[in-house]
Chains A and B, each alone.
Chain A
Amino acid sequence: MSGFGSFTHAVVRALPQSLAKEALRTGSLEVDLLKAQEEHDKYVSVLKHRLGLEVVELPADEALPDCVFVEDAAVVCGDTALITRPGAESRRKETEAMKAALTELGLSIVEMTDESATLDGGDVLFTGREFFVGLSMRTNQRGAEILADAFKDYAVSTVPVQDRLHLKSFCSMAGPGLIAIGASEAAQKALKIMQQMSDHNYDKLTLPDDLAANCVYMNLPSKGDSALRLLLQVFEKLKDHMLIPVSNQEKVKVDGALTCCSVLRI
């Protein structure tokens, strides 16, 4: 677990104009494109300047309104990148640019070619010792199986996700062995399942707001322990971390969480 969170690269993608109107969303909120753009820029800036990551910025594609949420297009662990087959038909093509970028980074690419499989990266929680894959509207069993095949070293457990878009809509890793989890019933239920399925003990960080439980944790040699967070209600528990608040309000309107906007590699 020592190397957990030590990333060197990040892949992000610019916001398309079409995001405002055409991006998939569970709510019906209007997106202020300008503001969203600002937030995204800030996010990328933090990755790049504050954290010193090599950031690969992919251009937006107007035909892919959700393309900014690159997390769903690939799962990277170790030297392997699994190019997913997103659950939403309209997002399938998002993987093309991602595949090219990750190939460029020298990762060994595994593609999900099975037509019956779907998997969104947002449903994949890697804890450093194992994977949890949410079975949601976007991710199915077959997709999880292929992920298990791609990352054979690790146990891959499935977790039913109800009432939420993705598994990571209410949880994420906030540190080595530390799971940030929302306080909602759905989140707590999922956490219990994860705890039961795991051979490991995880600390948990419960956040009153599910979305707040979605954060990006990094352990960078040059920067020390740091966490990128949207909402910071529970700082006390993260004393050791440097918290970097990043606003993400606009993208949240289209179900975009913090982790959604980058694919990180070690």
Chain B
Amino acid sequence: MKMVVCHVTLLDGSQFSCEVEKRAKGQYLFFQVCDHLNLLEKDYFGLSFKDNAEQRCWLDVTKEIKRQIRNSQWQFVFSVKFYPPDPSQLTEDITRYLLCLQLRQDIASGRLPCSFVTHALLGSYTLQGELGDHDPEEHRLDYISDFQFAPNQTKELEEKVVELHKSHRGMTPAQADAQFLENAKKLSMYGVDLHHAKDSEGVDIMLGVCSNGLLIYKDRLRINRFAWPKILKISYKRSNFYIKIRPGEAEQFESTVGFKLPNHRAAKRVWKVCVEHHTFFRLVSPEQPTKTKFLTLGSKFRYSGRTQAQTRQASSLIDRPAPAFQRTSSKRISRSLDGAPVVNVSDYSQADGAGENSPALELNSDSKSQQVEVMERPNADAATSITSETAFETDGAGAPQRKDLDKTQEDVLKHQASISELKRSFMEATPEPRPSQWDKHLTGSPATTLRLQTHGVPQNTPPRPGTDSRDASKSAEVKPEGNEVIEVVEETVVIEEVVKAKPKSSTPEASVPVETEVKEERSLSSDSESEDEAEYHAQPPSTSISTQQIKEEPEEEQEAELSQQAPPSAIESQPSAEAADPGPAAEEEKAAQPHEEERTDKPLLTPDEAPNGHAPQGEAPPSPQTAAADEEEPHIVNGSASRVETEHLPQVICCSEPPVVKTEMVTISDTFAAQKTEISTKEVPIVHTETKTITYEAAQLDGNGDGEPGVLMTAQTITSESLCTTTTTHITKTLKGGQSETRIEKRIVITGDSDIDHDQALAQAIKEAKEQHPDMSVTRVVVHKETELAEDED
């Protein structure tokens, strides 16, 4: 096995290095670090690394390190991931000490703002903890210059710190740490993970994810807050991040609030952080992929570690004498060694040791058990990671609810002033450029249903040379111009293997172009990788598709957009809502339709410009967990998608859930109008257009793309036509890290009127694709359906 040396920066600033196998998973390294630190309550911590864009990302312990860091250095930072709201409930002092170190960093860097007085107070506890009692002889004023208590440290502050330090005489290091934490936890920004974003009007805001929920800041002011119980679903699409809000008492419908993040990755990052925080702090246990819908998030990515409840339970079993450790801040290592510091340590150990004595260490068993858990999780995680949709369903699910605050808050929610503002702004802001026709997806069009089945032979190969799906969609839209009467429904279904579509759309009249994109991807050479993933296959949810999948393939990007919103009853629902729009706004519009309470936000998944369309898969796609989602929202896509086995593609399809896909309804009526206008710019003439896009993305076996962009070796395009189908095949071969990968992307345009069984045609097309390349796997299927409806029908 190839070994790699990992460098981990610890909280005290020191470096820890260890060798790991090149293919080691994150947990291996994480456990090494925790062992080194003698840390048992490790669930609050994590390892992070900087990605190519210099953004800090959390290392997923269930996945291979190499795939996550890609080309970056094997450099990590050990830090607190989940800030315990009440540090006094931590079991061990060593855990509290590490939390203190993290907070000192947060404070010194300015991430955790606090007043002068608080800086002084916290600084004084730091001194007491690290140096022990103030010693006039030893501690002249300059003894503290080595410490950084605040971003801008003044002499005045230092004097105040010393003054307070003197008052802590007799306090043990552990007590000083506890006091430090008691004060730090009250700070309003304690444990708040901030992300830059913009509201709809393009105004800079910050999204703060914390143990209680999501906070919205504008400058320093809190302008809104969404407690977890109020949030039904969290999703992202491209660079937009959405939360679906539970309706307040007086409200009938759920609403969706969107935010614009700097880019797709940022959107995905904030989404993941939300999913993790929600699970960790609000759930009793991570959702199980398959069962218990009630605890499910509905998204495929899940937090796989222990929740706070579980970790507390586990911690309560910790039975070891308090481990001795040295409190040495990195800034002043030398100091701590003389005089006072030593005393501290000894004092400390005595004090603590006294309290809890149990000689026998059950550490081993403990740690083992932990590991076991971890091990099991991988599967689940894997599955989770796949998720594309971010449906976060907190509620119905029965997640533990706190009725108290939250209830009252529900009312508050109505406080639409700010919310609606956000919404509005969001919508306005969102107009996204449509890269290609693929991008236009749905508006919640009710009528159309696509059914993708694997089998079936592609019957038609018709005659429209050059038309690719894009063209098709264009054509569809164009038509409307001619007739005001027509509604165009576009459905895009992205399916890797499975696509569920609703039964046929009711809007048959106009020509319904169905675009199906089947993308097959397989890395031939990466056997080893595929094997690893193979394990996951066993479990449906477990697809190992990781974030990594996000590749950077330009072409796919467009597709990535696919929003998988298939409106279930769309047809019945009012047409008005349906406007095709590309941007997120469109989705919200859908919401506009009242009846359907359940919206599928799946669309959010979209991978952004990033790498390939695949990117989204990691999170969006088919995860078993989706089940939960189903309850509330029928996500066709997800349900079906769940399997990623390469060879079983067909089966996957079968998995699909009920054919009906529900559309999200956003209650914001204004939006609709807004969207329309947007749309109109492109396709002015279209009066009624329904577009549906369903995307299925299979978990990918290969590390594809993740690590290395790869070198394009060859590319070719073949077009064939049959009666009503035009198939365009792009074959791309790339060389990645010594392995060659062949990607075949097919675009099949099925054109025809209602008489054609589009589902059948699509199924056949997919099946044929598989038959042609038996050794490859289908990673993604996008069904994009446009339907033009006569207005009369309305």
Contacts and interface: CB of A to CB of B under 8 A. Distances in A.
Interface in B430-459: none
A169 B114 CA distance: 30
A196 B114 contact: no
B108 to A, nearest CB: 14
Given A108-B116, A153-B187, A154-B188, A192 B220 contact: no
B15 to A, nearest CB: 32
A54 to B, nearest CB: 21
Contact of A197 (B220, B222, B414): B222
A160 B420 CA distance: 14
Given A78-B117, A153-B188, A195-B405, A158 B222 contact: yes
Interface in A187-216: 189, 192-201
A155 interface: yes
B114 A153 contact: yes
A239 interface: no
A4 to B, nearest CB: 13
A80 B404 contact: no
A130 B225 contact: no
B524 interface: no
A129 interface: yes
Interface string B406-426: 001101111101100000000
Contacts of A200: 405
Contacts of A157: 221-223, 225
Interface string B213-254: 000001111111101000000000000000000000000000
Interface stretch (A37-45, A142-150, A223-231, A244-252): A142-150
Contacts of B409: 192, 195-196
A158 B225 CA distance: 11
Given A78-B115, A153-B118, A196 B225 contact: yes
A193 B116 contact: no
B685 interface: no
A119 to B, nearest CB: 12
B115 A193 contact: no
B408 to A, nearest CB: 5
A196 B413 contact: yes
B222 A195 contact: no
A201 B405 contact: yes
A154 B220 CA distance: 10
Contact of B221 (A80, A141, A189, A201): A141
B212 interface: yes
Contacts of A192: 408-409, 411-412, 414-415
A151 interface: yes
A151 B408 contact: no
B117 A130 contact: no
Q: B-side binding surface: helix, strand, loop or mixed?
A: mixed
B189 to A, nearest CB: 8
B216 to A, nearest CB: 10
Q: A-side binding surface: helix, strand, loop or mixed?
A: mixed
Given A160-B417, A196-B409, A196-B415, A201 B404 contact: yes
A10 interface: no
Given A79-B117, A201-B404, A155 B188 contact: yes
A254 interface: no
A7 B117 CA distance: 18
A193 B188 CA distance: 18
Contacts of A154: 188
A133 B222 CA distance: 10
Given A153-B114, A199-B212, A193 B222 contact: no
Contacts of B221: 133, 141, 144-145, 148, 156-158
A237 interface: no
A152 interface: yes
Contacts of A144: 221
Contacts of B225: 157, 196-199
Nearest to B216: A197
Tell which of A79, A130, A194, A201 has the most Cβ of chain B within 10 Å: A201
B113 interface: yes
Contacts of B140: none
A160 B15 CA distance: 50
B220 A153 contact: no
B2 interface: no
A130 B188 contact: yes
Interface string A249-264: 0000000000000000
Contacts of B408: 192, 195
Interface in B359-417: 404-405, 408-409, 411-415, 417
A151 B115 contact: yes
B36 interface: no
A197 to B, nearest CB: 5
A114 to B, nearest CB: 12
B413 A149 contact: no
B222 A156 contact: yes
Contacts of B417: 160, 193
A201 to B, nearest CB: 5
Interface in A93-141: 108, 129-130, 133, 141
Nearest to A162: B417
Contacts of A148: 219-221
Nearest to B419: A196
Nearest to A130: B188
Tell which of A153, A196, A199 has the most Cβ of chain B within 10 Å: A196
Contacts of B186: 129, 153
A182 B455 CA distance: 67
Nearest to A191: B412
B115 A153 contact: yes
B626 to A, nearest CB: 30
Nearest to A192: B412
Contacts of A141: 218-219, 221
Given A141-B219, A157-B222, A195-B411, 20 more contacts: A78-B117, A79-B116, A80-B115, A80-B116, A80-B117, A108-B116, A133-B221, A144-B221, A145-B221, A151-B115, A153-B114, A153-B115, A153-B186, A155-B222, A156-B188, A157-B221, A157-B225, A195-B405, A196-B224, A196-B411
Interface of A: 78-80, 108, 129-130, 133, 141, 144-145, 148-149, 151-158, 160, 189, 192-201
Rank and list the top 7 A-B pairs by shortest CB-CB distance, nearest first.
A196-B412, A155-B188, A148-B220, A192-B412, A157-B222, A152-B113, A193-B415
7 contacts: A130-B188, A148-B219, A158-B221, A192-B411, A195-B409, A196-B412, A199-B225
